[in-house]
Amino acid sequence: MTTSRNRLRRTAAAAGLAAALIFPATGTADTVDIDFQLDWRFEGPSAPFLMSASRGYFEDEGLDVSIDSGSGSAETINRVASGAYDMGFGDLNALVEFLANNPDAPSLSAVFVVYDGSPAAVFAKKSSGIEEPADLAGKTLAAPSFDTGRRAWPLFARANDLEADSVSWDSVDPALREQLLASDDVDAITGFYFTSLLNLESRGIAEEDLVIMPFPEYGVELYGNVIVARDSFIEEHPEAVSGFLRAFTRGMAATLEDPDGAVDYVLERDDLVERDMEVRRLKLAIEGSIDTPAARENGLGAVDMERLELTIGQVADVFELEDNVPSAEDVFNSDFLPDQDDRMVFPD
pLDDT in tens, 27-84: 445 899 999 999 999 999 999 999 999 999 999 999 999 999 999 899 999 999 999 9
Is 21's pLDDT higher than 50?
no
pLDDT band at 25 (very low <50, low <70, confident <90, very high): very low
Task: Return the exposure string of 97-113: e unless at least 16 CB atoms fall within 10 Å of the residue's CB, then b.
Answer: bbbbeeeeeebbbbbbb
Phi, psi of 258 (to 5 degrees): -145, 75
| 120-218 shares the fold of 2-116+223-343 | yes
- Quote the crossing angle between the two packed helices 238-257 and 47-54, to the nearest 10°: 110
| Tens digits of residue pLDDT in 217-226 | 999 989 999 9
Contacts of 140 (CB under 8 A, 6+ apart): 167, 168, 169, 170, 186, 187, 188
Task: Provide the pLDDT for residue 323.
Answer: 79
Average pLDDT over residues 254-276: 96
pLDDT digits (tens, 9 = 90+) for 169-217: 999 999 999 999 999 999 999 999 999 999 999 999 999 999 999 999 9
Task: Please list, in sequence order, all residues whose beta carbon lies within 8 angstroms of the beta carbon of residue 125, skipping any fewer than 6 positions away.
Answer: 181, 184, 205, 209, 210, 211
Domain segments of the chain as ranges = 2-116+223-343, 120-218
Residue 193 to residue 249: CA distance in whole angstroms: 23
Determine the average pLDDT of the residues in 280-284.
97
Fold of 120-218: D-Maltodextrin-Binding Protein; domain 2 (3.40.190)
Q: Rounded mean pLDDT of 10-37?
A: 59
Q: Quick check: helix, strand or coil at residue 139?
A: coil
pLDDT surpassing 70 at residue 3: no
For residue 228, list its beta bridge partners: 88, 110
- Kindly report the CATH class assigned to 2-116+223-343: alpha beta
Three-class secondary structure of residue 66 per DSSP: strand
310: how many CB neighbours lie within 10 A of its CB? 14
The residue count of the chain comes to 348
Predicted local confidence at residue 315, as pLDDT: 86
317-346 confidence digits (pLDDT tens): 877 787 789 999 999 999 999 999 999 999
Neighbours of 334 (CB within 10 A): 17
